[in-house]
Amino acid sequence: MIGHKRIPSREGGVEIVVDELSTRMVKLGCEVDAYNRFGYHVSGKEFDEKRERYYNGVRIFTIPTPSSSSLNAIVYSFLATIRSLFGRYDIIHFHAEGPCTMIWIPKLFGMRVVATIHGLDWQRSKWGNFASKVLRFGEKMAAKHADELIVLSENMKDYFQKEYGRETSYIPNGIICPEHKEINCIKEKYGLEKDEYILFLARIVPEKGLHYLIDAFKDIATDKKLVIAGGSSHSHDYMDQITTMSQEDSRIVMTGFVQGEILEELYSNSYIFVLPSDVEGMAVSLLEAMSYGNCCLVSDIDENMEVVQDKACSFQKGNVEDLKQKLEELLTRPDIVEKYRKESADYICGRFNWDDVVDRTICLYMQKEKGK
């Protein structure tokens, strides 16, 4: 596995997917190596000190990288790929467009390569012009050289067919049906009460649309709080912008990166969950929020609507006024909130299953020729 920051980790959707795939494959008798990236990430510098050799049966290789955020990913991808050439692997599985820039290297040696495109990363506004071109190059390399290409949405499947004439396999992310947690830690730490806060939980980067949510929330007369849970990722200017905006409203609570018990309590006790993204692949946080039985309000991009179907509310992407109106409706209509709560968990847990994801991925691994 190449392309994630590190496992175990909840720093992003890629990390969660690699974790679930790797550990579940090991339980099925596969031998799996994961190439972690050394360097500061969303969860903090202290996590770099935990450099384990094995994690739940998965062998871990930690690849040294420079501290520069602009060079970190590309150096990691190159070094991890070169190291993998000596692993005698049946499959090398690349994750995300950036690491796929190196996919041609193992193909030179006749190795079988699978790639998962988690989203059209070059569209994300946090990347400058050069970085976007590199990501687009990675996308082209995946389309051209991957023996099997996995996408997370039907929209991306159509995109690769139209753009490259490339057939892909649609294998969405999975979800684990969780147990609800009573309020404890988040009351102590942040003063939160059940059903008394709106939850945003994602990386704080421009494409997640958090600025729309803050602008809309500021103009709403409500005693409920807005909880912003997540860390930055190569978007320090945007993080500064969000921090400044949040400081202007005492109802806004910024928790930073969360995991474990705090994460579970936040999902379990929110009034509604909001994901106002401009760009997504397949948002793991949205799957998780619905699995906890949350009423969700999402931007109407194809990738979100494909997940929620008619089991959540939506607003027009980037439209602050529409977002404000939908928030006000949900804040004054607890009956609507309750309706979506009753439907969301059973629907999402029944539709997206990790065991099915792993089985379908292994089937692709075992295919010897494209198209079979």
pLDDT value, residue 134: 84
The answer to whether the CB of 1 falls within 8 A of the CB of 18 is yes
pLDDT value, residue 126: 59
Assess whether the region 13-174+353-366 and the region 185-351 belong to the same CATH fold: yes
The answer to whether the CB of 208 falls within 8 A of the CB of 303 is no
Segments making up each domain of the chain, as ranges:
13-174+353-366, 185-351
Q: Which CATH class is domain 13-174+353-366?
A: alpha beta
Query: Does the N-terminal peptide bond of residue 64 adopt cis geometry, omega within 30 degrees of 0?
Result: no
Q: And the tokens for 102? A: 């190196």
Under CATH, which architecture does the 185-351 domain have? 3-Layer(aba) Sandwich (3.40)
- Which pTM was predicted? 0.84
For residue range 208-266, list pLDDT tens digits in order: 999 999 999 999 999 999 999 998 876 788 999 999 999 999 999 999 999 899 999 99
Range from 10-14, 153-157, 159-163, 324-328 carrying the lowest mean pLDDT? 10-14
Measured distance CA(105)–CA(82) in Å, rounded: 8
Pairing of strands 33-37, 58-63: parallel
The one-character DSSP state at 53 is S
Give yes or no for residue 60 having a pLDDT over 90: yes
Within 168-319, residue ranges assigned H as helices are: 185-190, 210-218, 236-247, 260-269, 284-291, 302-308
pLDDT value, residue 69: 63
For residue range 73-128, list pLDDT tens digits in order: 889 999 999 999 999 999 999 999 889 999 999 999 999 999 999 987 656 655 56
pLDDT band at 52 (very low <50, low <70, confident <90, very high): low
pLDDT band at 310 (very low <50, low <70, confident <90, very high): very high
Cross-sheet strand order for the sheet of 313-315: 252-256, 225-229, 197-201, 272-275, 296-299, 313-315
